[in-house]
Amino acid sequence: MSLIKNPRIKKLEDSVSEALKQEIGEKKLFSLAPFSEEQAELTGSSDYSYWRSTFRAFRRHWVAMGLLILLLAILVFTFVQPYLPGQFDPNAITNGENGLPLKNQPADAVHWLGTNSIGQDLWARVWAGTRNSLIIGISVALIEAAIGILVGILWGYVRQLDFLLTELYNILDNIPTTIVLILVSFLLRPGMTTIIFALSITGWIGMARFVRNQVLIIRDRDYNVASRTLGASTWRIMTRNLLPYLVSVIMLRMALSIPGAIGSEVFITYIGLGLPIEVCSLGNLINEGRKLMMSPNLRYQLIYPTIILSIVTVSFYIIGNAFSDAADPRNHL
């Protein structure tokens, strides 16, 4: 689309101008025109909208868009799947005609992904596992964000707290997260809430530090100094001035902490402190499948959960990064 006129259009415009000029008459043409102050004010206002430009920039990233759609489809499906016809309960053991459990069956028309070593339907287990892992991941991300943002903003903005919280951070950061995870899982009974709790209490620190650094960058900008001179309370500045600026960076960080939490869950299960076997999760599935890795015809029990884990994890990373690029005003061309 170019503003350089098509020569035919330009000729047309010129002839219209000519016609107008003939009509108006030379004397009037060269007389003073009426002047409107409002007309002068109207020219030149920008229609830039931050979020509109962000989404437009994100849409251009077609890989991320595709993965976003895929991820949403997976998310929806994990919740819809149990209600579809012909689905097995993930914990139910199917028995064959001989009355014995159908162990280690490869994929067929009934069991779409086959069965595991106890006779449970793998398809149902994979989707149940994905559902639980996603619940863990998203819950952890939300809790981390809630605590981390609150602490981070206070840490960055209130100068008196800076020293105290920095020291606290230095101590907490040096405690290996693995040890905390092991300790918490050991002390409390294994379960979904335990693991969510364990992952959250180690994760909020990183978010707090990140938010604090962002706040330090913007806290002395003129608009915040202005708010202080107007007598705005610290709470008001934190919620109306700082938080809106941090939304995009916080969303990025959350997008990356979800796969992190899911991965941590896999790891904990691996070392035996994860969810109990009755609660299906990708960690459990991968753990079980790992034991069968060596036999080629049973390998599928490892491969299917790994595929889903990879898709979910990689999607979150790519979407998160694409969103962060799109949210940068310099890319809003």
Partner 1 sequence: MEEREVILSVRGLYVRFGHGRNRFEAVKNASFDIYRGETFGIVGESGSGKTTIGRAIIRVYPASAGSIRFHGEEITGRLPKEKRRALTNQIQMIFQDPMASLNERAKIDYIVSEGLQGRGIPPEEIRERVGRAMRDVGLLPEFASRFPHEFSGGQRQRIGIARALVMNPEFIIADEPISALDVSIRAQVLNLMSQLQKEHGLTYLFISHDLSVMRFICDRIAVIHKGTIVEMAETEALFAHPLHPYTRALLSAIPQPNPEAEKHKTLEVYDPTQHHYEINVPGWNEVEKGHWLRANQEELEKALAALHETK
Partner 2 sequence: MSKILSVRNLHVCFTLRGRELHALRGVDLDVEDGESLAIVGESGSGKSVLNKNFIGLLDQNGRVTDGEIRYYGMGDKLRHYQGAGMDENGNYIDLAAFKKNEDWLRIRGSEICMIPQDPMTSLNPLKSIGWQISEALMLHRGMKGKMAYEETIRILEDVRIDDPRRRFRQYPHELSGGMRQRVVIAIAIACNPRILICDEPTTALDVTIQAQVLHLLRELKEKYRLTIIFITHDLGVVANIADRVAVMYAGDIIEIGLVEEIFYDPRHPYTWALLSSLPQLGHRGEELYAIQGTPPNLFQQVTGDAFAPRNPQALVIDSLQAPPYFEISPTHRAKTWLLDERAPSLTPPEALRKVRDLGKATKGGAEDGRA
- Applying CB under 8 A, the residues found at the interface with partner 1 are 41, 44-50, 221-223, 225-233, 236, 240-241, 244-245
CB of 88 closer than 8 Å to CB of 94 = yes
Question: Which of 306/331 has CB closer to partner 1?
Answer: 331
Smallest gap from Cβ 60 to partner 2, in A, equals 11
C-alpha span between 232 and 145 (Å, rounded): 25
Give the separation between CA 135 and CA 115, rounded to whole angstroms.
24
* Of 45 and 98, CB closest to partner 1: 45
Are the beta carbons of 332 and 248 closer than 8 angstroms?
A: no
Check if the beta carbon of residue 273 is closer than 8 Å to that of residue 147.
no
**Partner touching 221 among partner 1, partner 2, none, CB below 5 to 8 Å by kind:** partner 1
Identify what 229 binds: partner 1, partner 2, none; CB under 5 to 8 Å per kind: partner 1
Taking the complex as a whole, how short is the minimal distance between the CB of residue 306 and partner 1, in angstroms?
Answer: 42
**Residue number, 189 or 330, with CB nearest to partner 2:** 330
Q: Which residues of 35-59 are buried (b: 16+ CB within 10 A; e: fewer)?
A: eeeeeeeeeeeeeeeeeebbeebbe
**Residue partners of 319: CB distance under 8 A and separation at least 6:** 64, 67, 68, 71, 255
According to DSSP, residue 242 is labeled: I
Q: Give the shortest CB-175-to-partner 1 separation in angstroms.
A: 31
Residues 24-83 that bind partner 2 (CB under 8 A): 24, 26, 28-33, 35, 37, 39-45, 48, 53, 56
**From partner 1, partner 2, none, which one binds at residue 232 (CB under 5 to 8 Å depending on kind)?**
partner 1
Residues that bind partner 2 (CB under 8 A): 1-4, 17, 20-21, 24, 26, 28-33, 35, 37, 39-45, 48, 53, 56, 332-333
